[in-house]
Amino acid sequence: MKNTLRQVFHSSKFVAGFVIFVAIILMMIIYPLFNPGNPLEQIGVGTFAKPGTYVSLYDAARTKTDTLRLPDAADNRIAAALTDEDRVAMVEWFTLMGADISDLDTADTDAMIELWHETYDPTARPKGMTNAKINYYKRLNNAIMDLGAADTITIAEYNDEGVLEESKTILDTDYVNTKNVANVKTLPLGTDNFGRDVLKELVSATGTSIRIGLIAGIVATVIGLTFGLLAGYVGGWLDDIIMFITNIFTVIPSFVLLILITYSLGQEQRGAAVVATVIGFTSWTWTARSVRSQVISLRNRDHVNLSKLSGHSLVRIVVMDILPYIASYVVMAFILQVSSGILAEAQLSLLGLGPKTTQVPTLGLMMNWAMLYSAHTNGSWWAYFPVILIITLISFSLNLMNTGLDQVFNPTLRD
Amino acid sequence: MKKIIALLLALVMVFSLVACGDSGNSDVTPGTDQAGEPAAPDAAPGDEETPAEEPADVVEDPAPAPADGEDVVLPRNETLYFAGQQWGAVNSWNPIGTNQNNAMAIASGVGWRETMFETLYMWNALDGKLYGLLANDDYAWNDDMTQLTFTIKDAAKWSDGTAVTAADVKKTFDIGIEIGNGVAGSYGAYIDSIDADGNTVTINAKLNDAGQPVNPLKILDFLVLQAIAQENWINTCYDRNNGDATAILNDAGDDVVWSGPYTKYYSDDQKVVLVRDDNYWGQDASMWGSLPVPKYLAHNIYADNAAGEVALKAGEVDVCQQFIGNVQNLWLEDGLPISTYYDEAPYGICLTMPTAWFNMNIPVIGENAALRRAIAMAVDYDSIIANAMTNQSPSFSEVPRSLMNPTAGEQALYNQSEVADLQFAGNDVEGAKALLDEAGLVDTDGDGWREYNGEKISLNAVCPNGWSDWQASMEIVAAAGEKIGVEITTLYPEYDIYQTVFVDPNQTEYAIFMWSPDASTPSNPWTRVNQFMGMDYIGIQNNWSGNWGQYKNEEADALIKQIPLTTDETELKRLYTELTKIYLTEVPSFSLMYRPSMFHTVNESVWTNYPADDGRNIPPADCTDGYGIRALYELELVG
C-alpha cells in the first residue's frame, strides 16, 4: 500500500492535479473562517455591484480627516469628470452653437468650461440631434457644474426642531484613512444579480458542487461495480440480463434521461442530494461494462479457482480475490464520475433543472442566474467567469489525477 | 481491395459519428430560451389576444409583393425595426378572428395597435383622454348614460376606397357577438346593441334590473380598444365560411380590407413586415395631414429577449419593447445612442403593478388577514425594485401603495391622507412580527416557525420558470417569510403548467402567486380595482380575468359596483378611498413593484425624435399603440 502510494505520488501529473484539488478544498474550508455568515445573504440592493472596495460614505463623513496636499488631485478630479471624448463632444457643441473655436485649446480646461457656460443651453435642440445625445449633454453639463462648484462640501443635519444645521465642512484636501472608517467592505468578485457576495457564494457553491459530484460518483460507481462484478463473475443468464439492462441505458443518451427524470421529479423534490443521486443513476453504465470485461479475464485465474475449490462463498471470492485486482481501475473510474457529476449538475442547472433554486448555492445555479440576468451581455463577467474557472479547475485536476493514476497502474503506459 | 473497402467503411463511420456528435450538442441549446419572457407584458387580460400559442397550421403567405424571404430587401432609412412584440409566425390577418398571433397589426398594448386596423378613438395613457381617429373628436352621453353617440369622420376611407360608415361599426359588434370573438367576451355584458344611421353611431348600453347602464366605462373601452372591420369584407368572410363561427374565427383574412396607414407586406417565421399605404385616408387635413414617416415597419422574430437586446445594441432594432435590466448602462457605459422616455429612473411610464396574490382557498391564508398583512409588510420592496426592475419603477415610499398606478391621473382619485396610516413601504419586520403575535400566530413548539391551529404555517411562492424578474421577487418574498417566522418556499413551474393552475378558482397548489392586473384603459382604475376585489370572478372556471386569489368581500363588491355609475368626482374619490382602506386592511394581494405595461427603449442610429418627456404629449407606446402612433408622423432621420 505504502509502495503504491509512493508510486502514485511520483507521477507528476497526479501530483499537479492533487495539489489543485487540495487547494480548492482548502479554500472551501479556510475562506469561511475569515468571512463567516450565510453565503446567500443579499447584502447589495440591486444587481451586479462591481468588484472592489466599498467605503461607507456615511461613516467616512464622520471620520477624522487628515490633510494631504497632493499635486495631481485637481487634475485627477478633472480627468474623472471630463474625459477626452467629452472634450471632443464639447467642441462639437461649440461648433453647433456657432461659437468661435479657432484659438481654443481642448486641453485648457478653464477655457473649455468658460466657453461651455457661455454656449450651453439646456433647452436647445439642434436640428437632427438625437435624444440620446441631448441627454448626454445634460449629464455632461451636470458634471461640469460639479467641477465649477465651490472647493468645500457642507454637511448639514436636521436638528430637533427640524431645521438644517451645518455640522461639518469637507475640503478638497481632506482625506480619511480607510482603517479609521467603521465600515469598509471589500468584495473581491462583486455581487451577483441578487446582491450576494459572489466570492462567498462561490466558495460555498464549490463545496456543494463537489458534494454533488461525490454523491453522484459514489452512486454510479457502486451500481456499476455491483453489476459489473456480478455479470462478469457469475456469467450465464444473470450476465445476459444485466448486460441487457446496461445496453439499454447505454443506448439512451444519459443527459436526455437526466433531463427527463429531473423534469418529472418537479422542482419541489429537487434538493441537491436528489439531483446528485439522479445523476449517479444515469451514469453507471460504462463502469459496469468495463468492470465486467476485466472480471471475465480474472475469473479463470488460478487463485480464483483455488478459492472456489476451497469452498469460499461468492461474496468472499468477489471481494477478496477479484476486487483488489481491479481496485485501481475503480478508483480511476470513480474520479471521472465525480468530475462528470459536477459537470452534469452545471449543465442541468443551466437549463433550469438543477437543485431547487436559492436554498443552496451550486456552481450551475450561479451560472443559471447570471445568464437569466444577461450577465454575459451586460459585461458583468464576475458573476459567471469565476464559476466557469472553478468548474474547469475541478474537472481539470480530477482528470489530471486520473491520467496520473493510469500511468502508474496501466502496464502498457508505464515508463 | 479489402483494405480499401475497410478504409472507406471507416471513413463513413467517422463522418456519421461526427454528424451525430453535432446533433447531440444541439440538445443543450434550448436552455437559452429560459431567459425569454415571451409576450408576457404584451397580453393584457381580457383583450383580443388569447395566450400565444404556436401556430397550428402553416398559413398561406399573405405577402402581396415578395415571394421569398431572401428577396425582402428593406432600405434601412425607410424602415423602422421593432423588437419584443412578435414571437413566432403570424397566424392570420383577420381582425374579427382569434388567436391571430399578429403583434404588428392585431394586438393591443397601451391602447390598440393602430397600424393596420383602426379604432374609433385613440387612447392616450399620458393624459387619460380619447382622441378621435375614425370618429370625430366629440362623443356624447345622454343624461342617464344609457346611450353614447358620435359620428364617423367624413374623410375616413377603407383601403378599397369606400367610406367608413356607422354600419361598419355596427357590423363589427354584431358579428363579434354572433361568432363569439373578443367583442363578445369584453363588451357583450355591457353593450346591448349599436344603431347605425349614416355617419352617426349610437351605442346602447345594457341595463341592469334598476334600469341603469351596467358599466359605461366599458363602453369607452370599446371606443379605444375595438378595431373596426369593414361590413362588406365581414360579409364576404361570412359567406365563404358558410356562417360557421369556428371557420370565421380561424379565417386567414388574406383579402382583408383595412383602414390604417400600413398593410401587410411580408411575413414568415423569421420576420413580419408592414408597408405604408400611400393612399391612407389619414393624410387628409382633418386627421394627420401627412403620411407616417417610415415606409416599412419590420419586426424580426427573435429567439428570446437576449437576442432582441443584442440586436438593439447593434442598431438593428429601432424600437424595443423589452425589459432591459440596468438600461442606463447602454448609454452611460456603452455610450450607445439609445434613450428611453425619461432620461432618469424610472425611465418609462409605469402603468401596471405586478402583484402577488394570496390564495384564499388555503385556510391559513383565508382566515388570517393578519398573516397576509404581516407577509406584505415584511417584504423588502426596495430590494425587489432595485433587483427585479433595476430601479425602473418608483418605490413604495415615493408612490405609496394603493389600488392606483403611479400616474398623476389615477393618484388623484383617492384621498392619500385618509389611508396614510394603513400604507406600508415594506421591510417592516418588527411591525409584522408584532402583528402576528397579536393575532395569536406564534411559535408554540420552539422550532422557529409560527403555527396555526397547531400546524406549522408553510406556504409556497410561485411564478413561472424563466421569468427572471418575478423569480427574483419571489425569492425576496420567501426571505421576508423567514425573517418573520413563516416558512415560504419558492416554486417555479413551467409556464404551460402555471397558466393552467392559477386560473383555476378552486386550486390550493399555489399559496402566493404572481400575475399583473390591468394597466391603462378608459375603464381603469375601475377594472383593476374589480380585479383586485370584485366578486364577478368568484368560481369562474378558466379565470383569466381577475381576482385570481378568489377574495370575497360583499362590502367591497358593493362599492365597486357603484363606481361605473358615479360621475360626481367627490363621491368617486370617496368610493375609491373606501376601497383602498379595505384593500390595505385586508391585503388580499400585494403589489411588488410598478412596471411599464410596455417598455420603450429606442436606438437613435437611424431614426430620432421619438416620444420623450418633452411636452409633446405622445405616450411611449411603442410608436404604434393608441395615440402613441403619432410618433410615426414625427420621426426624423438622423443627420
* Complex-level ipTM: 0.74
Q: Is B553 left (phi over 0), alpha (psi -120 to 50) or beta?
A: beta
pLDDT average, residue stretch A309-315: 90
| B168, B160 contact by CB (below 8 A) | no
Residues of A in contact with B30 (CB under 8 A): 351
Q: How far apart are CA B254 and CA B405, in angstroms?
A: 39
Check residues B571 and B52 and name the one with the higher pLDDT.
B571
Closest partner residue to B639 among A128, A253, A347, by Cβ?
A128
- Decide the pairing of beta strands B458-462 and B487-491: parallel
> Which of A133, A264, A373, A381 would you mutate first to test chain B, the one with the most B CBs within 10 A?
A373
For residue B32, the tally of other CB atoms under 10 A from its CB is: 15
pLDDT (0 to 100) of residue A108: 80
Select from B116, B31, B104, B66 the least CA-distant residue to B300.
B104
| B71, B267 contact by CB (below 8 A) | no
Q: Mean pLDDT for chain B?
A: 85
pLDDT digits (tens, 9 = 90+) for B389-401: 888 899 999 999 9
Q: CB pairs under 8 A, 24+ apart, for A81-87?
A: A81/A143, A81/A144, A81/A146, A81/A147, A82/A109, A82/A112, A82/A143, A82/A144, A82/A147, A85/B335, A86/A140, A86/A143, A87/A112
Q: Which amino acid is at A32?
A: P
> Is the confidence at residue A240, as pLDDT, over 90?
yes
Range in A198-202, A295-299, B301-305, B559-563 the model is least confident about: B301-305
> Is the Cβ pair A267, B638 closer than 8 Å?
no
> Is the confidence at residue B334, as pLDDT, over 50?
yes
pLDDT (0 to 100) of residue B56: 38
pLDDT digits (tens, 9 = 90+) for A141-168: 888 888 766 678 888 888 888 888 888 8
Q: How near does any CA of chain A get to the CA of B116, in Å?
A: 28
Confidence of residue B16 (pLDDT cuts 50, 70, 90): low
pLDDT (0 to 100) of residue A93: 87
Between A and B, how many CB-CB pairs are < 8 A? 119
Alpha helices by DSSP H, listed for A198-351, are 198-234, 236-251, 254-265, 272-281, 285-298, 302-309, 314-316, 323-350
**Ranges of each domain in chain A:** 2-44+193-413, 71-151
Residue A366 cell numbers, joined: 450561479
Q: What spatial distance separates the first Cα and last Cα of chain A, rounded to whole Å?
A: 20
pLDDT (0 to 100) of residue B116: 94
> Is the Cβ pair B27, A268 closer than 8 Å?
no
| B384, B473 contact by CB (below 8 A) | yes
pLDDT (0 to 100) of residue A254: 81
Taking the CA atoms of residue A88, residue A94, residue A99 and residue A104 in that order, the dihedral angle to the nearest 10 degrees is -20
The interaxial angle of helices A363-372 and A385-409, nearest 10 deg, is: 150
Domains of chain B: 108-253 (3.90.76.10), 355-591 (3.10.105.10)
Q: How far apart are CA B639 and CA A123, in angstroms?
A: 20
pLDDT over 70 percentage in chain A = 98
Q: What stretches of B437-516 adopt beta strand conformation (E)?
A: 451-452, 455-456, 458-462, 487-491, 512-515
Residue B581 cell numbers, joined: 382602506
> Is the confidence at residue B43, as pLDDT, over 60?
no
pLDDT (0 to 100) of residue B13: 62
The interaxial angle of helices A323-350 and A363-372, nearest 10 deg, is: 20
Select from B259, B216, B264 the least CA-distant residue to B104.
B264
Q: How near does any CA of chain A get to the CA of B353, in Å?
A: 19
Q: What is the CATH number of domain A2-44+193-413?
A: 1.10.3720.10
| B219, B517 contact by CB (below 8 A) | no
Confidence of residue B164 (pLDDT cuts 50, 70, 90): very high
pLDDT (0 to 100) of residue A242: 92
Q: How far apart are CA B402 and CA B411, in angstroms?
A: 9
Residues 336-355 of B with CB under 8 A from A: 336-339, 343
> Which of B34, B380, B389 would you mutate first to test chain A, the one with the most A CBs within 10 A?
B34
> Is the confidence at residue B505, as pLDDT, over 60?
yes
Chain B contact for A255 (CB, 8 A cutoff): yes
pLDDT (0 to 100) of residue B6: 67
Phi, psi for residue B220 in degrees, rounded to 5: -65, -35
| A363, A342 contact by CB (below 8 A) | yes
Taking the CA atoms of residue B194, residue B195, residue B200 and residue B204 in that order, the dihedral angle to the nearest 10 degrees is -50
> Is the Cβ pair B325, A42 closer than 8 Å?
no
Range in A134-138, A219-223, A393-397 the model is least confident about: A134-138
pLDDT average, residue stretch B97-108: 88
> Is the confidence at residue B196, as pLDDT, over 90?
yes
Q: What Cα–Cα distance (Å) separates residue B326 from each residue in B343, B352, B387, B473, B474?
A: 13, 19, 10, 16, 20
Residues of A in contact with B335 (CB under 8 A): 85
pLDDT digits (tens, 9 = 90+) for A25-79: 999 999 999 888 888 888 888 888 899 999 999 999 888 888 888 888 888 888 8
Chain A contact for B479 (CB, 8 A cutoff): yes
Q: What angle do CA A183, A189, A195 make, to 5 degrees?
A: 70
Residues of A in contact with B32 (CB under 8 A): 371
> Is the Cβ pair B604, A47 closer than 8 Å?
no
Q: How far apart are CA B354 and CA B379, in angstroms?
A: 14
> Is the Cβ pair B608, A129 closer than 8 Å?
yes
Q: How near does any CA of chain B get to the CA of A269, in Å?
A: 10
Q: How far apart are CA B622 and CA B631, in angstroms?
A: 9
> Is the Cβ pair B609, A131 closer than 8 Å?
yes
> Is the Cβ pair B27, A255 closer than 8 Å?
yes
DSSP B267-320: ESSSEEEEEE-TT-GGGSTTTTSS--S-SEEEEE--SSHHHHHHHHHTTS-SEE
> Is the confidence at residue B316, as pLDDT, over 90?
yes
Q: How far apart are CA A207 and CA A214, in angstroms?
A: 10
